[in-house]
Amino acid sequence: MRFISLFPLFALSGCVVGTVARTAVDVATLPVKAVSAGVDAATTSQSEADENRGRELRKADEARGRQARELAERCRTGKTRPGDDCSLVSR
């Protein structure tokens, strides 16, 4: 009977030891994880650079298209500005 009453204490101590060991591993690996996260945040991979360049090109292309549409609208309505060249707009 004494053995049965002591069994939960040993089982509980095994869980505590596992938790302590897991915490020790987490604490030991924390500096490595922090450094790698810092390096990753400070550097740009080639694919990220390509994506950023593509995004810049799309935005510039959209801006040119918007300006062309605005010029065409001004030429069509006769509300041109001094620098507008309506000969470039196809009718």
84, part of any domain: no
Band of the pLDDT at 20, cuts 50, 70, 90? low
Same domain, 14 and 49: no
Percent of the chain topping pLDDT 90:
41
Band of the pLDDT at 75, cuts 50, 70, 90? very high
Q: Tell me the whole-structure pTM to 2 decimals.
A: 0.49
90, part of any domain: no
Asked if residues 59 and 66 have their Cβ atoms less than 8 Å apart, the reply is no
pLDDT at residue 8 in the model: 57
Nearest alpha carbon to residue 75 among 60, 85, 83: 85
Nearest alpha carbon to residue 52 among 44, 64, 62, 40: 44
Could you give the maximum distance between any two Cα atoms of the chain, in Å? Answer: 104
How many helices and strands in the chain, by DSSP H and E?
A: 2, 0
Same domain, 36 and 52: no
Specify the number of domains making up the chain.
Answer: 2
